[in-house]
Structures are given as structure tokens and as C-alpha cells.
Amino acid sequence: MDYRIEKDTLGEVKVPIDKLWGAQTERSRSNFKIGHEASMPFDVIEAFAILKKAAAHANCDLGVLSSDKRDLIETVCNEILDKKLNSQFPLVIWQTGSGTQSNMNVNEVIANRAQILSERKIGQDESILKANDDVNKSQSSNDTFPTAMHIAAYTVLVKNTIPALEQLLENFNKKAAKFNPIIKIGRTHLMDATPLTLGQEFSGYATLIEKGLHTLNTSLVNLSEIALGGTAVGTGLNAPKDYDVKVAQYISKFTGLPFKTAENKFEALSAHNALVESHAALKQLAISLNKIANDIRMMASGPRSGIGELLLPENEPGSSIMPGKVNPTQCEALTMVCAQVMGNDVAITIGATQGHYELNVFKPLIIANFLESARLLGDACNSFNEHCVKGIQPNEKRIKELVHNSLMLVTALNTKIGYYKAAEIAQTAHKNGTTLKEEAIRLGYVKSEDFDLWVNPEDMI
């Protein structure tokens, strides 16, 4: 392989001649061979392209960058956003905790690509753009990386996760309305309880999702604040006056999302509580979705030796040895995703504790786990909705059988004959394998016509 020589403050480095990155990227590539498949999420790289373009415009407006350089930076950033330069970002998550090398990776690629666009040779002709002085003007990795974190996180939530949850919520609401006339047995402690309707049960699932969505949407307010303009420690050193406000306006313009400059840059660099808050909402949703998926697969258990109240879509064969077996695979996939999100929350929590003095140094870990959770949860909700929820059907024959066979219908007799006599009826029926009505009459506590009048599932919901 042919190489060219690149230089940084530590000296010379060999860089593959066909690559656009420079010395700092190459040093990171050599020094952090940790998890070769754990590349920095491209959402972060795209966020960097947006903020670098915004910074160039803001710097030009404020008279510290020429319009020619602004236009070159914008051109390359647009190429990054069009995914034309994907192979130029080789760095992994496990690098410096400030994300400095990924910031420089973007700076170097923009500067060297501008060199080619200007028909100059990288490393030989005078640089048309300098990675640090031009592309990184008015910036520090300490404020660009947290800004990229917020842009990437906010974007994936509003474009992937939230729409998927909204679609799932819509279908649970539809099922709740459709299933409302169907009376089924309730269960507490996994044991028979008093009746409710299948629609009421599904309305509980819809409300769990609705409340989680509300929490997630509320968290976007703090996530919309960006650190750019704080530079190294939050003071804004080397950034022109009003740069922070102007660059946030450009980021908002380029994304169509309501980003604004953080009121306190010291907090924005040293802590990541906005991401902790938003991911806590994702964890809340994961907990809720885990409950929903488990309920559905248990109600669908069988088809003949389980509960069998629900019929799920038969999407694929379930066994390589048992012919005809079909499993609740969408429920299993969703619950695995939920487990991953809960695990990611632990990593983010620990990462958020590493804000010492003026800088948190677990930034790559925090954003990588956040983006994985947001994308996984969105994708899993889409899959669960499309391949499971939409096709759920009630097994009404089995539901009626279980309702009328339940001993807990005896609860309706509490106000008529008292708790203790009602308990005696239930326990005797269970022991003898008889019905509640048979034992109520045999024990002399209830007449036949009164039992039929009082123990009516439709009156108990």
C-alpha cells in the first residue's frame, strides 16, 4: 500500500494515500484497536457535518472566515451528509473520552477533500483549508462532540423512535376499542382474579405506551440545547461574540429541528443529564413494552395446552424438530431489545458520572449506547406492530371457557353472603372439582336463581 506523510504536533505519520484523513485520525486508528466492529455511529458523523457547516456559516457572518472557505466546508459537509465519504471515518467508539479524535477526523477529511476539490494535491500543495484553523474555527472538541451527541440523539428520536411508538400506540388503541365487548378472566399473581374485558386489558397497554411517549417528548426540551460556543471549558474562548447563538440558529435551520444554544455552557460540557433523562424515558418504555410483550405471549400460549386466549400471526415455522410448531417470535425479539435498552441505561448512567471538573470524558460511550437504544426500540416497535399486534385475534371460545370455569367469580357473592362463606364455596368447588353454583346450592348458601342473578361476569367489569 502506498502512503503519504502527514504531520501533527507530535511529528510525522504515514497515512494511506487513498484516504482523506490526516495524522490525528491515523494515530487514533493505530492506538485504539479496540472492537474493530464498534465504529463511531454514523449518526454522530452526520451531526458533525451539520455543525461544521453551521460553524462555517456563523464564522463567515461574523467576519472571521472567508466566504470561499465557508463554501468549500459546506460542499464537503453536504457530501458527508449524502454518504459519499463514509469510508473516510474509520475510528471506533473506544477512543479518547472527549471524542477529540472523531472531531479531528471530520476536520481532516473536510480539509483534505477541499484540497482535491480545489485541484490541489494533499500534502504537497499549500492547503486551501486548515483542519484546526479553518474547519475547527471557534470550536473545541469539548463543545463540538456534545453538540453532535445532541443533534444525533434528537434526530433519531424524532425520525425513528417516536414515529414507531406512535404507530404502535394507534394500533393498541384500535385493538382496545375492538376487543372491549369481550369479557375475559383477569389474573393477579399469575392466578385467576375477577373478570375484565380484553379491551380494558389492551387499554392498559396503550396507556403505558402513551405515558412513555409523553415522558420522551418532554425530555426533548433539554436535548435541544447545544454546547457549541463553549469551546474548551465553557467560557467561549476564541469564539467571536454572538457565535453561540448564531451557530445554533444555523443548526436549527439545517436540521429543521428546534436547537438552541445552552444557557450554561459549563454544564453542557461537563455533564450529560439531558441524555440521561431522555434515555431514562427509553428505559421506561422498554420496561412497559417488556410487560406488554410478555403478557401477549403468555395469553397466546398453547395452542392447546396453554392459556390460548389470543391467536397470534403465524409468521414462520418455530422448530427444526417439532413439525407444525409456531412460536411468539416477535414478542421474544421485542423483549430481547428491551433487555438491551435496560443494559444500555446502566452504561449511560455510569458514563454520566464521569464528569470531572469541566469535562465529561465518557462521551462516545454515552452516545453510542443511546443511539443503539433509540434505533433498536424504534425498529423493534415497527416489527412488533407490523408482524404481531396488527394480526392479534381473540380466541373467544377459549376466553369464555376460562371465564366461566374460574373460581374467582365467587367474589360477586361477597356482598350477598359474606367473604368467608364465599371462600368456602370456592375452596370446596376446587377440592371437589365441581362448579361454584353446585357447591353454593349444596352448602345451602345461595339459591339457584339467586346465583344466576348475582354471579354474572357482565356485571363484574
Say if residue 118 carries a ligand binding annotation.
Answer: no
218 annotated as a binding-site residue:
no
Burial (CB < 10 A; 0-12, 13-18, 19+), residue 243, is buried
Residues involved in catalysis: 189, 319
pLDDT at 233: 98
Instruction: Count other C-beta atoms under 10 Å from residue 231's C-beta.
Output: 23
Say which residues have a Cβ less than 8 Å from residue 47's Cβ, sequence separation at least 6.
147, 148, 149, 151, 152, 155
What lies within 8 Å, CB to CB, of 424 at 6+ separation is: 443, 445
| 188 belongs to an annotated ligand binding site | yes
Name which of 201, 225, 90, 214 is nearest 153 in CA terms: 225
pLDDT in tens, 254-265: 999 999 999 999
Chain segment 27-73, per-residue pLDDT in tens? 999 999 999 789 999 999 999 999 999 999 999 999 999 999 999 99
- pTM given for the model: 0.95
Residue 137: what are its φ and ψ, rounded to 5°?
-60, 135
**Pairing of β 310-311 and β 393-394:** antiparallel
pLDDT at 1: 76
- Cβ(206)–Cβ(291) below 8 Å: no
Instruction: Judge whether 98 is annotated as a binding position.
Output: yes
Is 326 known as a binding-site position? Answer: yes
Q: What is the amino acid identity at position 61?
A: D
Establish whether 320 is an annotated binding residue: yes
What is the per-residue pLDDT for 136? 98
pLDDT in tens, 195-249: 999 999 999 999 999 999 999 999 999 999 999 999 999 999 999 999 999 999 9
Q: Is 141 annotated as a binding residue?
A: yes
Which of 435, 380, 40, 73 has its CA nearest to residue 254?
A: 73
Contacts of 143 (CB under 8 A, 6+ apart): 227, 228, 229, 230, 231, 232, 234, 265, 268, 269
What is the identity of the amino acid at 266?
Answer: F
Phi, psi of 324, rounded to the nearest 5 degrees? 80, 0
* 140 known ligand binder: yes
Over the stretch 299-335, which tens digit does the pLDDT of each residue have? Answer: 999 999 999 999 999 999 999 999 999 999 999 999 9
Q: Is 434 annotated as a binding residue?
A: no
pLDDT band at 453 (very low <50, low <70, confident <90, very high): very high
Of the CA atoms within 13 Å of residue 239, those in its CB half-sphere come to 28
- Say how far apart CA 277 and CA 365 lie, in whole Å: 16
- What does the angle CA 407 – CA 409 – CA 411 come to, to the nearest 5 degrees? 105
Query: What residue has cell string 422498554?
Result: 286
pLDDT tens digits, 428-445: 999 999 999 999 999 999
pLDDT at 265: 98
